[in-house]
Each structure stands twice: as C-alpha cells, then as structure tokens.
Chain A
Amino acid sequence: MPRMTMIEAIRSAMDVAMGRDDDVVVFGEDVGFFGGVFRCTHGLQQKYGVSRCFDAPISESGIVGTAIGMAAYGLKPCVEIQFADYMYPAYDQIVSEAARLRYRSAGDFTCPMVIRMPTGGGIFGGQTHSQSPEALFTHVSGLKTIVPSNPYDAKGLLIAAIEDPDPVIFLEPKRLYNGPFDGHYDRPVTAWSKHELAEVPDGHYTVPLGKAVTRREGSAVTILAYGTMVHVALAAAEDTGIDAEVIDLRTLVPLDLEAIVASVEKTGRCIVLHEATLTSGFGGELAALVQEHCFYHLEAPVMRVTGWDTPYPHAQEWDYFPGPARLGQALRDIMEAR
C-alpha cells in the first residue's frame, strides 16, 4: 500500500470525492491553479477543470457564504480557509447560517459542506498562524468538528465529511502535514513514510465520524487528545513509563462519549490534553463529561494540560506548546494524587 503524507492523503480524499461525485467542488484562496499554499489541492484543477476547483477572492465570509448558497442549491462544496486563524470574518456565515440552515428551515434547505482549515501551532507561526479555535465550533449546535491526527484518518474522515449531509469543520493540524510530531522539538523530525498510519489506500474508504480510537492501551490513566496532541501523549507515556491509555477523539462533535467513559472507568484517572487555550476550551467540556459520567470511578481530579490563556507567542513557542515534558509532569502528578 502506498504511504502518503497528510497533505497527500487530504489531496487524495478530495480527488476521490470529486471523482465519485460531480457535485463536489473545491475552492478557496490560492486553491486552484497554484494548488494551495500547503499543496493540499495540487493538481485538482488540472484534473477536474476550473469549474470544479478554483481560486477565490480573499474574503472568508465570501468563500463560506457562497459555499452555503451552493450547498443550498445541491452541490457539496469543500472549501478552504487558508489558516484557522483567519476564519473569523466567516464566523457569522458559519454560526448563523451554515450551522442553522437545516434547523431554521425545518429541513427545507440543507448545508452539506466541508470547511477545511489548517490549525494548531508548533511551527513558529506566531499569533495568526498557530491558533486552535475548535471550541468556537464545538460550542455551535448544528456543526460537526473533526481533527485528524494521521494520514489514514485524514483521508477517511475527509471523505466521510464531504459525504456527510451536515456542515463539517475539518481542522488539519499543519504541524502534522509532513510528519508526526510529538513535541520533542529538539530531535530530528520524522517523515510520515516511516509511520504505519501513513499507509493510505488509493481509492475510496471512510473513517466514521463520531468514533474515537485507542492509540495506546493502558491501565493507569486515560489521556484524551486529538490532532498533534495524540503524538505528544504517546511520547509522554513512553518518556515517563506510565501506562497511559491514549484516546484519539478524531471527532469532537458528535463526541464518542462511550469510548471515553469505557476508558476512564478502566483507568480511574483522566488527563485532557489540547493545544488551545485553557479557559472555556474544549477540554472544559471533556472534563465536565468525565466527572459527570465517571464520578464514582475517578481516583484523582480530572486534569487539563493545554496552551496558556494568552495569544500564541512567537519566540516562546516551546514554553507555550503543551509538550511531552509538561504532560509528563502532569502524568506523574495525577498518579500521585488521591
């Protein structure tokens, strides 16, 4: 089976979806002729023509707003916001329109669309190329929110998202585009070619939305993670020797609560891990759900390891990024807590 980077897997997903369904259209800033600033749409315009894959004006509300109109017509737009940090001008269209169209029209109009956006830090992206705004989507009823952590999932989830009848926010951790990253910034980067989850079928397959997966089985503590943080969690378990169970949530809404509860009931401890800022982050929701559903199994308070409640800094990247050292300390702390 071929090995793909996450970029290639995402491109392959759109290629497969466009090949199977003429109603799938792809557009965004620099997405057409050039093939995207991250190469995720490279070659699609040549293959499918300018009416299926095209460049858009620099207007996020225009991109999402026109895509909503297209979806209402019956197309399945898969649009790109160049960086998740730049989705704010489209937020009104996403929250007030895409998320609510089916509800407010009682199913008269629907919005089957995907909004792809590169997310997350760890790349010296500074304040406006590093943000993780997933909580601004998970808080909105009517949206589904996905964060893949590897090429296999990225392709299968993206195809599933394009085929899904509801609007989907597809957050791509750009730090994972070319290889897995576990937060050990001082070690040489590895490529996806050495990773088993980079084995990606050429053709059509899906990874179901709303299903988490266990990346490492363990008995001592459950780590709930998604995106880049899955790799950080695996590294911290390795570094500390603590037998952590690592759950890769993959879909944040709808959430696989059953998988979370089963794991925490087994381990009795839970750490929630994300890059996004702490206060009102998605980790708050996860922690609340765990205490609500696993209260009598918990042997320690649920802990959150996250980005600080500050804008994402540039020079202090590694003091901000919740890497394996910080998670390792939390793992040791939670094992001693009682």
Chain B
Amino acid sequence: MSSDKAGSAPVVTQPLQFHVPRPASRPGEKPDFSDVVIPKAGSVARPPVDVDPKDIRDLAYSIIRVLNREGEAVGPWAPDLSHDDLIRGLRHMMTLRTFDGRMQMAQRQGKTSFYMQHTGEEAVSCAFRIALQPGDMNFPTYRQAGLLIAHDYPLVDMMCQIYSNERDPMKGRQLPVMYSSKEHGFFSISGNLATQYVQAVGWAMASAIKNDTRIAAAWIGDGSTAESDFHAALVFASTYKAPVVLNVVNNQWAISTFQGIARGGSGTFAARGLGFGIPALRVDGNDYLAVYAVAQWAVERARRNLGPTLVEYVTYRAGAHSTSDDPSAYRPKHESDDWPLGDPLIRLKQHLIAVGAWSEERHKQAEAEILATVIAAQKEAESFGTLHSGGKPSARDIFEDVYAELPPHLRRQRQQIGV
C-alpha cells in the first residue's frame, strides 16, 4: 500500500504483537539462571566515595563481590572486618534463619496467623545494619528483620509482636512481622508497598534541614520498584541531595511474579538511579562482606553530604513469599539450589573456616546455642500468650493512638463496647 500524503510514513500491515515477559523456567522445567551474569569476585573497582557519579555508571551493571569460590575475601571491596565481627555477623544470620524456622512452625501450629521468612536474604539486612551508626533510621520492608536482630532487638519482643499477645509492642494492632522500633532505628512497617521509600527520603531531608549528622536507609523489593513512590523517592532524593541509601533487594520474585514483570532485565534495578543522577552500585546480596562494604561506602557518601546512593542487592528468595504462599505453583521446586550466588550463611561460614577463625565443630555448637536461645525466647514470648490463647491486648487498645488524645466520637464508641 502506498500513502496518498507526501512525506508520511509507509503503512505497515503486519499485526502488532503484545509482549508479556516470561521467567526462564516454570514448574517442571529446569532452573535457568544463564541471564544472571556473575563477574569474578574482586573484579570490580572500588572508587572513592566522592567520585563523580558519571564516572561509575558501569558499577550499576556489574556485581560487586568479595568472597570467591574458595571462600577467600578478594579485591578492593574486601572490608576491614575482624574475625570477631564476622563471627558475630554469621551468628546474626544464623539467628535470623533459626528464628524464621521457629516462627514458620509456630504459624503452622496455629499460634499466629501469618509469617514471612528471609531465607537466602539474611546477609542483606544483617550486614547492612553493621554499617550504620546510632541514630540512623531504616525504613524497612517486611523482609529486613535482620536489621533488628543485628542490632540486638530482643527476640522476645519480636515474637510477642508475631503472637499479638499481651506484651506485643504494637498492642495487637498490626499483622505479624510489622515491627516498629524508633530506639533501634527501625521505622514502623506498613503493609502498603513502597510508601516507606519516599518517607525515608523525607526523613533524610529533615536531618539535612536540621544540620544533623544522621542518615536514612530506604528499603524496597524488586517488585515494588514498579510503584510510583519508588520514582518519587528517587526524584526527591536526587533533587535535594538527601543523605539516604536507597536499597533495592532484588530477590528475583514478587510473590509469583518474576522480576521481569517489574521490567528487570531492562538494564538493572541499580541502573534506574542513573537517570536521576544517583550513583548506583550492584552487589552480591549473598556475600556478607560485599554487602557490608557497599553499605559502608554508601553510608559514608550520605554522611559526608555527597547525596544518595542506590544499591541493588542481587539475591534469591529461597523460601515461600509468606506462610500463605506455595512457590511450587509458579517456579521450579528446587530453583534455589541452582541460584549461582549460593547461600549467604554457608558462604560466610566457609570463609571463616578458610581463614582459620571457625570450624565445623564451632558451627555445630553455635547452631545448638542459637537454637536454645531462640527456643527460650519463644517459650518466654508464649508465656504472654499467642494469637488464640493466653494473654492478649485489651479491647481498650483499639481506640488508643488513633489520635494523640481520644476525641469524643471515639470515647462514645469505646463506651459502646464497655471498655
């Protein structure tokens, strides 16, 4: 067909095709991570924190790694952490995994309604927490409990929240795992995804407005980067050069939806920062040392008033999305076994053994100690009640804290239920 208008494009008759990305493998198929390009440990350069963001655009497309296959810490990003620091880090991760196991079981036993595990992602929150200083504030999602555990928040308090019992710090108002602790630099978790990402930027702006020295850390998953608040956060962080670390935990999955539906694969999630002039790093999320080193770099940048950094943690959600989810319905059953970055606990353990600071015996002993500690905490928490038995928050607590003071209409409603 030819056009009858001079200068217009030729008419194309081929029908359009609608594109819907598909994960590399589905249930029954062989796991395939050939798209995840893994550079050698130690191969990525470590620029100074005051580098011009334009000069490190390649870091948004690589993966910073420290631990190699032999468990050695190699390259410019190998952090200055003592063996004791690393053993403490390993114990944090082991505690989180043990805690997850117990709480997962408690949900199956009907002691609570809901739980979300961190399996495979322990290094991200546990190592990041160590890079922060007192007074800094995290704006976490529901999958960063390592921030609490690595800051010695009491396990009993976490469990009381999960059980919604009489000692629940949230007074039974919140779903399990929606912790809050200002004292521990852990902002109240909301069920609404991505909202906290832009709030973190505002908190950081406030710190700058007040000429404070504290910084904020924002957290989001790969799927939630599609929310508009992710975009808003990047605009505001960049415009006001806010002292914030913008963390993206890319665990490949948003419930049943693979990261390609959030348009992962179109560059990287880290690279989204580049369009806003925000320097971006991509890091092996299962490498405790690399996570710490990158966190430290980004935290220092923020603290030195050099502005925000976007960090993508490349990891894998080894467990189910939540206790209400069955991953075998949408991905190969043993996909996590093929994940090329391995297991963060095993990798740190091997490193510590390789440097002579740890052994299989000490590991077994630590496992037993941690299990005993977590079980003791669980027993104590359960002595204050579980969701359906024992002590629970007062019905009066329904009406408190809606406002600073109880307004007349809530007073009337409270009287109606006789509390």
- Chain A residues in contact with chain B, CB under 8 A? 25, 51-52, 56-57, 59, 61-62, 65-70, 72-75, 77, 89, 92-93, 96-97, 100-110, 141-142, 144, 164-166, 210, 253-255, 257
Contact = CB atoms under 8 A, between A and B. Distances in A.
A96 B201 contact: no
Chain B contact patch, size range: 35 or more
Nearest to B170: A106
B232 A62 contact: yes
Contact of A109 (B180, B204, B228, B231): B180
Interface string B365-404: 0000000000000000000000000000000000001111
Given A72-B199, A75-B206, A57 B239 contact: yes
Contacts of A97: 190, 192, 195, 199
B195 A104 contact: no
A108 B232 contact: no
A142 B199 contact: no
Nearest to B207: A73
B404 A166 contact: yes
Residue with the greatest number of chain B CB neighbours at <10 A, chosen from A69, A102, A144, A257: A69
Contacts of A92: 192, 195, 229
A49 to B, nearest CB: 10
B195 A66 contact: no
B205 interface: yes
B402 A70 contact: no
A108 B402 contact: no
Interface of B: 137, 139, 169-171, 173-174, 178, 180-182, 187-188, 190-192, 195, 198-210, 216, 228-229, 231-233, 235-236, 239, 401-404, 407-409
A254 B228 contact: no
Nearest to A99: B402
A97 B193 CA distance: 11
A272 B288 CA distance: 63
Contact of A59 (B170, B199, B236, B401): B236
A27 B188 CA distance: 24
Contact of B401 (A25, A69, A70, A107): A107
23 contacts: A51-B209, A61-B232, A62-B233, A65-B195, A65-B199, A65-B232, A66-B199, A69-B202, A69-B205, A74-B206, A92-B229, A96-B190, A97-B190, A100-B190, A101-B188, A104-B173, A104-B174, A104-B188, A104-B190, A105-B188, A142-B403, A164-B404, A210-B407
Contacts of A56: 236
Nearest to A72: B203
B188 A62 contact: no
Contacts of B236: 56-57, 59, 62, 66
B270 to A, nearest CB: 21
3 tightest A-B contacts by CB? A69-B202, A66-B202, A65-B198
A109 B201 contact: no
Contacts of A101: 188
Contacts of A105: 170, 180, 182, 188
Nearest to A103: B401
Contact of A104 (B170, B199, B216, B403): B170
Contacts of A72: 137, 187, 199, 202-203
Residue with the greatest number of chain A CB neighbours at <10 A, chosen from B198, B231, B409: B198
Contacts of A102: 401-404
Contacts of B210: 73, 75
